[in-house]
Chain A
Amino acid sequence: MKTDTIAAIATALGPSGVAIVRVSGPAAGGVLRALCGEASPEPRVASLLAIRHPRDGRLLDRGLVTRFVGPDSYTGEDVVEFSCHGGYLTPRLVLEACLAAGAREAQPGEFTRRAYLNGRLDLIQAEAVVDLVEGRSPRLRQAALHQLERGLSDRVADLRGRLVGLEARLVHHIDFPDEDDQPVPIEEIAAEAEAVAAALGALARTAPEGELLREGAVTVLAGVPNAGKSSLFNALLGVERAIVTEVPGTTRDALDAVVSLDGFPFRLVDTAGLRESDDPVERIGVEVAGRWLEAADVVLLCVPARRAPSDEERRFVAERAEVPVVLVRTQADLADGVAAGGEVPGAAASVTVSAVDGRGLDELRAALPRLVFAGLVEAGSDAPVLTRARQRAAVEAAREHVCAFARALAEGVPADLAATHLRPAESELEALLGTIDREEVLDRVFADFCVGK
Chain B
Amino acid sequence: MNEKKAILQARQIGKYFHDPVTFKVLDNISFEAYQGEFLTIVGKSGCGKSTLLYVLSTMDTDFEGELWIDGQNISRWSQDKLALIRNEKIGFVFQFHYLLQEFSCLKNVMLPAMKLGKYSLEEIEHKAYEKLDLLGLKDQALKPASKLSGGQQQRVAIARALINDPLIIMGDEPTGNLDSRNSKLVFDILRDLTRTYHQTIIAVTHDNDFAKNSDRTIEMEDGKIIHDGFVRNGNIIV
Same complex origin of A and B: no
B residues near A, CB below 8 A? Answer: none
A residues with CB within 8 A of B: none
